[in-house]
Structure 1
Amino acid sequence: MLRILFVCTGNTCRSPLAEGLLRIRVHQEGLAMEVRSAGVSAMTGAPISRNSASLLQEAGFTESISSLAIQASEVKWADVILTMTMGHKRTVIQRFPDAVEKTFTLKEYVEDDHQVLQAIEEREKLVTEVQLKQALSQTVTVEERNRIYTLEHAIPDYDISDPYGGSLEVYRQTAKEIGGSLDKLVAKLRRQKEGPQTGK
């Protein structure tokens, strides 16, 4: 049973949409999966946004979701943590360093371009080294700064747009953006599931 935790800021707009829309797909596909969501700055028990709730209802999701502040128990529960932005990913890793190997942005996790994935890995490593140098008051070289800049421009924008405060149509665009990534996620999980059986 795969356990996925989606993370955004307040757990009222994007991550509840991702949770609900994936749970619909899990039910349709018959996948062995549990899905939850949380926020890095959430207030536990608060209602999700009216527009997110409306879109989930429109999609056929009938269960109730309320916001949850991310905590160690949720991080430990999850097999994979999928954030809505790179900023959320960094916040999760800073707060829960043990989760570094299982935390990705949603778009990054479903990326299938090998060169892009290599650039992401190199950038993350370089950024960590530079942050460590800065913490130790060591000089960051021009070459290091230039390499990070080059890598940043080789990587697509993995942030999912924030609809907070927007109209239903703005939320609909975000839901469409999330839905496209969830389709790729389900296809990826299906391939992983079929792999051993088909010898692929």
Structure 2
Amino acid sequence: MPGILFVCTGNTCRSSMAEGLGKKLAQERGLQVEILSAGVAAWPGAPATWEAIQAAAELGVDLKDHQARSVAPELVEKADLILTMEERHKDILLTRFPQIRGKIFTLKEYATGQPGDIRDPIGEPLEIYRSCALELKELIGQALEKFKQGWGQGEGRESKEF
């Protein structure tokens, strides 16, 4: 099964919401893809922020059991597509794992073809998280359609597990 990895800083806001939204949107589209998230500076086991849990819940996604994870070599190696929330996350990962060039993009870059970052809502009021979640939902929907077209039926691709 193909895999997508969403990456942000701490894996408690943006990428955790992206993982949950991605799973929900993929399921709604009948797309079989494994979706995970991680952070470049995550505290492993940390929960999603209350605001991320609330904003995601309003879009039908349950993040109550989310536990942050750090980006690890096995995650980036096995992912077929890595989508970061900011250009700096992409740069950090390319420095750590230069072999992933070609399968790493910012979410905005991959979904729209235009550069741009997803604003970090950490420490902001719930309204900012809601806005972030809606932006993520829109961009992830576009990204999944593009991924689906590029992936095709998965012919000739090796099956990987995260």
Give TM-score, length-normalised by structure 2: 0.87
Q: Distance in 2 between matches of 1:190 and 1:82?
A: 15
Give SS of 2:108's match: helix
**Per-residue deviation at 1:167?**
0.6
Q: Paired residue for 1:79?
A: 80
Q: Distance in 2 between matches of 1:96 and 1:188?
A: 24
Structure 2 gap segments, 5+ residues each: 154-162
1:8 aligned partner, one-letter code: C
Q: Paired residue for 1:65?
A: 66
Q: Distance in 2 between matches of 1:16 and 1:61?
A: 10
List per-residue Cα deviations over 1:29-75 (Å, max 9, x = no partner): 11010000000000111111111111222222236221001111111
Q: Distance in 1 between matches of 2:147 and 2:104?
A: 16
Q: Paired residue for 1:45?
A: 45
Q: Paired residue for 1:151?
A: none
Residue pair 2:7, 2:82 contacting (<8 A) in 1 also: yes
1:90 aligned partner, one-letter code: D
List per-residue Cα deviations over 1:122-145 (Å, max 9, x = no partner): xxxxxxxxxxxxxxxxxxxxxxxx
Q: Paired residue for 1:24?
A: 24
Q: Paired residue for 2:136?
A: 178
Compare CA radii of gyration and give the structure with the larger one. 1
Q: Are 1:108 and 2:112 counterparts?
A: no
Pair 171,190 (structure 1): closer, same or farther in 2 beyond 3 Å: same
Q: Paired residue for 1:12?
A: 12
Higher RCO by CA contacts (8 Å cutoff, separation 6 or greater): 2
Q: Distance in 1 between matches of 2:144 and 2:133?
A: 16
Higher helix share: 1
**Per-residue deviation at 1:161?**
0.7
Q: Distance in 2 between matches of 1:185 and 1:47?
A: 26
Q: Paired residue for 2:119?
A: 161
How do 1:119-198 residues align onto structure 2 when only pairs under 5 Å count? Answer: 156-192=114-150
Superposition CA RMSD, Å: 1.9
Residue pair 2:76, 2:100 contacting (<8 A) in 1 also: yes
**Per-residue deviation at 1:186?**
2.4
Residue pair 2:20, 2:62 contacting (<8 A) in 1 also: no
2:90 aligned partner, one-letter code: K
Q: Distance in 2 between matches of 1:184 and 1:86?
A: 19
Q: Paired residue for 1:89?
A: 90
Q: Number of matched residues? A: 153
User: Share of identical aligned residues, percent?
Assistant: 40
Give SS of 2:74's match: helix
